[in-house]
């Protein structure tokens, strides 16, 4: 076999304004180049404690069981559904975006039966519909997406949803992949039993160690299971040995990713969680004002606007991939197209973590104006940039 001859790694310098990953903070990149210690080294055990403490702050919870799951957001998501679904359980999931279907798929693999509560893509769930679905199906578990990355919709009324679920003795799982560290999320105050996230969105950290938190009631449900969790790797009763009191070997933690997450969470704590939510709202608000002043529309209604992911409706007959290619090839800016029911109709523009900065918003608006003009769309890019700068 011939020896491969591969050049040195020199990926392009992009500005990441898509649905994730977002730009990684330079301090996080530096943390990733620090030397490894063993995953059971006393120094690493201290680091694990610090990460857990920082995660509790970021989730706004006192939950003991607050850990980074090894793997991407789908790993923390599957940990939630695999541990809390027993064969034969009914699990209510949302039908208003891409990630509800992924929840359903995970529930089926865990032996449960998913049932859906629907709303059109681009709209949040209506608590009245959730209440009707509870009466009809009496689910054991209810999963919802706090920040739906496929549609740019924030689910408002979270305490109303958790109240309905608890009145029916069900536990609640919240997908907070695109909300943690970017938009208001109060796990304890809102009575969310399980929340999971990913680090590559509003935490501006590379993917690889994904936040998860469980209330005491949820932990009790896991330890009272009649059947073992079908996944060995994600079984919390096994993982508890490593992340709980004992700190015994389960699998080799992704040490560098844990370093990265620690630094990303330290940045959250330094900024202050509420100040961070406010920054996302201010910077994405400028993006929103800019897009609207250009003559384009933002998809969701203001009550469910998601600052971290902005769904911009494209004028008719505009080729979304040509716009996306133009932004990437001419300006090195990444944005993404719509998914599912919204494919071809929207652009998804992220404003997350270290990417949620005035400089990114202003350059994105100027570049977007140029990309649309290249598609013969009549937009006023100068008005867009001006409106954004006024807001900033
Ligand atoms: C809302 C939501 N849930 C789950 C996931 C899955 O995360 P990952 O792609 O990191 O596995 C994503 C990823 O974009 C997401 O946006």
73 CA to middle of ligand 1, Å? 5
pLDDT at 236: 97
Contacts of 376 (CB under 8 A, 6+ apart): none
Pairing state between β 90-94 and 15-16: unpaired
| Domains of the chain, residue spans | 26-270, 272-391
Counting atoms of ligand 1 from 1, which one is nearest the CA of 77?
4
**Residue 211: closest CA among 249, 257, 246, 168:** 257
Spatial CB neighbours of 386, under 8 Å, sequence gap ≥ 6: 293
SS3 for 155?
coil
- How buried is residue 227: exposed, middle or buried, by Cβ count under 10 Å (0-12/13-18/19+)? exposed
Q: What Rg, from alpha-carbon coordinates, does the chain have?
A: 21
Q: Which CATH architecture has domain 26-270?
A: 3-Layer(aba) Sandwich (3.40)
Taking Cα atoms as reference points, which of 73, 248, 295, 273 lies closest to residue 181?
273
CATH architecture assignment, domain 272-391: Alpha-Beta Complex (3.90)
- Return the bridge partners of 172, or none: 142
The confidence score (pLDDT) of residue 261 equals 98
Is-contact 135 142, C-beta < 8 A?
no
End-to-end CA distance of the chain: 58
Ligand 1 site, residue 145, Cβ cutoff 6 A: yes
From 75, 77, 179, 211, give the residue whose CB has the most ligand 1 atoms within 8 Å, as the site to mutate. 77
- Atom from ligand 1 closest to the CA of residue 207: 10
Q: Alpha-carbon distance 170 to 164, whole Å?
A: 9
Task: Tell me if 72 CB under 6 Å of ligand 1.
Answer: yes
Per-residue pLDDT of the chain (392 residues), as tens digits, is 999 999 999 999 999 999 999 999 999 999 999 999 999 999 999 999 999 999 999 999 999 999 999 999 999 999 999 999 999 999 999 999 999 999 999 999 999 999 999 999 999 999 999 999 999 999 999 999 999 999 999 999 999 999 999 999 999 999 999 999 999 999 999 999 999 999 999 999 999 999 999 999 999 999 999 999 999 999 999 999 999 989 999 999 999 999 999 999 999 999 999 999 999 999 999 999 999 999 999 988 899 999 999 999 999 889 999 999 999 999 999 999 999 889 999 999 999 999 999 999 999 999 999 999 999 999 999 999 999 999 99
Take atom 16 of ligand 1 and give the residue whose Cα is closest: 149
Cβ–Cβ < 8 Å for 117, 92? yes
Q: Do residues 139 and 114 make contact, with C-beta atoms less than 8 angstroms apart?
A: no
What is the per-residue pLDDT across 268-308, written as a single tens digit (0 to 9) for each? 999 999 999 999 999 999 999 999 999 999 988 899 999 99
Q: What are the pLDDT digits (tens) for 183-214?
A: 999 999 999 999 999 999 999 999 999 999 99
Q: Is the CB of 236 under 6 A from ligand 1?
A: no
Contact 69, 75 (CB under 8 A): yes
**DSSP assignments along 88-151, one per residue:** T-EEEEE-SSHHHHHHHHHHHHTT-EEEEE---TTSPPPHHHHHHHHHHH--SEEEEESEETTT
């Amino acid at each position: 076999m011939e020896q491969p001859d591969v050049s040195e790694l020199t990926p392009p310098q992009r500005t990441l304004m898509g649905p994730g990953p977002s730009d990684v903070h330079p301090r996080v990149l530096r943390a990733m180049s620090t030397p490894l210690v063993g995953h059971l080294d006393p120094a690493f055990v201290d680091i694990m404690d610090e990460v857990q403490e920082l995660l509790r702050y970021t989730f706004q919870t006192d939950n003991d069981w607050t850990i980074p799951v090894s793997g991407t957001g789908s790993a923390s998501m599957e940990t939630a559904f695999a541990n809390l679904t027993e064969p034969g359980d009914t699990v209510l999931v949302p039908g208003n975006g891409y990630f509800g279907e992924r929840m359903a798929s995970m529930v089926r693999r865990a032996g449960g039966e998913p049932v859906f509560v629907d709303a059109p893509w681009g709209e949040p769930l209506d608590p009245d519909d959730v209440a009707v679905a509870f009466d009809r199906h009496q689910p054991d578990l209810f999963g919802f997406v706090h920040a739906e990355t496929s549609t740019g919709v924030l689910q408002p009324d979270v305490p109303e949803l958790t109240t309905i679920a608890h009145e029916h003795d069900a536990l609640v799982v919240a997908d907070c992949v695109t909300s943690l560290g970017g938009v208001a999320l109060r796990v304890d105050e809102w009575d969310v039993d399980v929340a999971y996230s990913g680090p590559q969105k509003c935490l501006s950290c590379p993917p690889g160690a994904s936040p998860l938190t469980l209330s005491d009631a949820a932990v009790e449900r896991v330890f009272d299971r009649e059947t073992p969790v079908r996944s060995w790797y994600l079984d919390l009763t096994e993982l508890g040995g490593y992340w709980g009191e004992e700190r015994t070997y389960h699998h080799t933690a992704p040490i560098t990713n844990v370093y990265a997450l620690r630094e990303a969470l330290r940045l959250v704590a330094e900024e202050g969680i509420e100040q961070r939510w406010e920054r996302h709202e201010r910077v994405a608000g400028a993006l929103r004002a800019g897009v609207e002043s250009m003559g384009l529309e933002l998809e969701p209604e203001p009550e469910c606007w998601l600052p971290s992911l902005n769904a911009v409706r494209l004028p008719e007959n505009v080729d979304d991939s040509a716009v996306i290619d133009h932004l990437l090839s001419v300006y090195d800016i990444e944005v993404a197209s719509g998914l599912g029911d919204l494919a071809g109709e929207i652009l998804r523009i992220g404003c997350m973590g270290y990417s949620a900065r005035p400089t990114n918003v202003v350059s994105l608006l100027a570049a977007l104006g140029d990309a649309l003009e290249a598609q013969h769309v009549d937009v006023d890019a100068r008005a867009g940039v001006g409106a954004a700068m006024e807001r900033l």
